[in-house]
Chains A and B, each alone.
Chain A
Amino acid sequence: MVTARAIVACCCLVLALLAPAAPARADKDGPAPIVVKEPHYGEILFYFYQEDYFPAIVRVLAAQQQGQLSAHAAEAELLKGGLYLSYGHHLEAADVFERLLADNVNPEIRDRTWFFLAKIWRQRGYLDKAQRALDNIGEDLPEDVEREARMLQAQLLIDGGDYDRAIAMLGDWKGRTEWSRYAQFNLGVALVRSGRVDEAKKILEELGGIDPWNEELTSLRDKANLALGYALLQSGQPHAAKMPLQRVRLEGPFSNKALLGVGWADAELDSYQRALVPWMELRGRDLLDPAVQESMLAIPYALAKLDSISQAADHYLNAVEAFYEESGRIDRTIGHIESGRFFDEFLTDDPLDSTGWYWRMQSLPEGPEARYLFHLLATHEFQEGLKNYRDLNYLWQNLDRWQQSVDVYANMLETRRLAFEERLPRVQETLARADIDGMVQRKLEFDALLNDIEQSGDWLALATEREFELWGEITGVEKTPALAADIPEAEEVRDKIRLLKGVLQWGLEKDFRERLSRIRRDLLETGEALVETQRARRQVDDSMQRQPDTFRTFDDRVYGLEPRVETLKMRVGDAMAEQRAFLQAIAVGELQAQQRRLDTYTVQARFALAAIYDRAATVTEAAVK
């Protein structure tokens, strides 16, 4: 029977699954380590602890089908749900949990599970399911997770365009934790998206002035300052825009855009000389960043305003050339991605040593395309798509291995069948010679004989061969006619014979009981051996009779599984192609957007250059006149 203690221990395991950042908590404060009562359960844990979720799930399914987890039935089901989740098999996990969570499960586990499902579903774009999962959460989440769940709820509202409810929820956020800062930021987002820009500015202003205590908050502050700076710039307040933009760190993911914005703020104030300072700083940075690209046009724009026409023209020419080269590189990268090689390299580089939802791709395969696609890694669609692609590849490899094994099993089965058919006549002949019934009959006769000996006290019947010979010799000598003579010598021999006979008889009578018991024991053992032999014989007969059926059953299974493997392998291959096409479309779409931006800038540069040439020509013409 599964004890409550064991269930609690398993819950801790599942908690660890649902909160991978804090597994130590479950270990240290957990009630007790799990007592493994069945080896198959321990074997599942062996794979689970190594984060090899796929083999762990296969073993749970196999052991459940074989009824090998009866002592861990409830724990195993809970663990299975957790394993499905970790493996990213979220729909199946939800089925398991929906069944289990209806029962009397630890409320914290229940709430955490729904939260975790909501998180996965939002990331995978199942917004309706994510909302339903959040609706199922009670009041038993730990404080930190509860905050994250509330934030998730607000984001779902923003995702669904329900800005008013999101604003109401985020505006009500209590406390001064890190989460309250995220709430503030998201409130700003919701306000901007609902068109309430002035209110958003106040929020962002406050957030932009915080004193952050970690990298994430620093990054959030930068983001808020950047958003505020550009909002002010767009609403014609360049002077006010400068301060938030200057608060953005110089070396960070938002620094390029901030530098560009500061330059634009100065330009708006007609301080072109000052505007050139941040823009020139951008010149040496990665051309991939739109802010850097834009600075290549902003610099000549400022130079032209400062009447450095020739320098401005040079910069425009440089920009056109740089954009052209960049566009060419993007073209080549699109070609590489569309050829499919990029994702093949991704799979080649991937060691496949872990699967599951926690896996995140940190870097792309080395190559020119990595720099263009790097930021795609931060998007859910691309990451989740990559996970699926990777999981499909794992499935394909798995099926490929099985396909080879199934062939081996088919051969093995055939060899066994041939060996059986070859041995069967020999075995049947040998069995026919073994007269087990005759042996049983003889044993029964021995039993009867022994009973007679016991009843009649026939001690001589149990004499050894030597004793029997001796007895025969003595009685033979006793009957010698010469000994009947009435002479002292004969009398002396008769006495000796009587003595010998007496001694022998005394010995035989003395050993009679012991010999009787020993023979009875031997007969008993013989009887048991005969019963065992009869049983074995029945088994052999049974096996011989059943073996053809067993072969047929195995045939059905092996040959039935073969097409299943084949069909599934084809379907997995098709799904991989679809998934790859989807990822390719995202990646190529991203690159084409970059290319369109470059085209726009190129047109702007050419237009500006033409204007400069036109102006120069007009001036020259005027001078000539």
Chain B
Amino acid sequence: MTRQLLMSVVAGLVLAFAASLPAQEAVAPDADAASRDQFRQLDQDVQSLKKEVLDLNRDLFLLEEELLFPANSQVAFFVSMDVGEYFKLDSVSLKIDGKEVANYLYTDREAGSLLRGGVHRVHMANLKTGGHELVAIFTGQGPQSREYRRGATLNFSKGIGAKYLELEITDRVKKQQPEFVIKEWE
């Protein structure tokens, strides 16, 4: 046995070193072209399936909404936050005409998303045309991390066509308190 024979394996491995990017390995220099072609073919199939499944999801999403909440009776309730310095949202519960219809507990990730400008559709309902009363109870942590529970009420009229209501949490800087407002989305 010669030392050359022994050394060949590891030396070969070392000298086949690849081009470098920080924190990223390169395409293996000896990457088999056939394998790369196979990967690309599979990837193209996956891309095409993703597109088809996304389109199907869109159609199903719309079907679900139209079936469960026809436009004429649909009312959607959205929660939004502005700034959020004085309030950390834990949950929102909704009562429509005295009946509790939703009780939503927010994860940190969801609350964070609201803070960055996301708007959460917390509930959808079918309501008859005419007057209705919405009561929303917000719970969470207020200034100085104190338990905080506040309500807001809105009497609104449901006409023909979908209606969107916004439950908005804002900061009242002067009072250093959060403010809870329900309004109709124009």
Contact = CB atoms under 8 A, between A and B. Distances in A.
A is bound by B: yes
Interface in B61-75: 61-67
B49 A402 contact: no
Given A43-B120, A230-B11, A388-B43, A62 B1 contact: no
A301 interface: yes
Given A227-B14, A227-B17, A89 B47 contact: yes
Given A50-B109, A124-B39, A155 B19 contact: yes
Contacts of A190: 19
Contacts of B26: 155, 158-159
Interface string A152-194: 1011001100000000000000000010001001100110110
A558 B35 CA distance: 41
Contacts of B112: 49-50
Nearest to A158: B19
Interface in A489-528: none
A409 B64 contact: yes
Interface stretch (B51-59, B89-97, B142-150): B51-59
Main secondary structure of the interface of B (DSSP, over half): helix
A151 B113 CA distance: 35
A294 B64 CA distance: 63
A125 B41 CA distance: 10
A301 B7 CA distance: 12
B183 to A, nearest CB: 12
Given A395-B49, A571-B49, A189 B118 contact: no
Contacts of B56: 399, 402, 561, 564-565, 568
B117 interface: yes
Contacts of B44: 91
Give the contact-size bracket for chain A: 35 or more
Contacts of B45: 575, 578
B80 A42 contact: yes
A106 interface: no
A250 interface: no
Contacts of A561: 56, 59-60, 63
Contacts of A533: none
B84 to A, nearest CB: 12
A36 B112 CA distance: 16
B62 A65 contact: yes
Nearest to A402: B60
B6 to A, nearest CB: 6
Contacts of B181: none
Nearest to B107: A50
Contact of B6 (A66, A123, A297, A557): A297
B60 A405 contact: yes
Given A61-B55, A297-B1, A409-B67, 14 more contacts: A49-B113, A89-B54, A125-B39, A125-B43, A155-B27, A182-B21, A220-B20, A223-B20, A294-B7, A380-B25, A385-B42, A395-B49, A579-B46, A604-B5
12 contacts: A36-B119, A43-B119, A57-B54, A61-B55, A62-B65, A89-B50, A90-B47, A159-B26, A192-B17, A384-B43, A388-B46, A579-B42
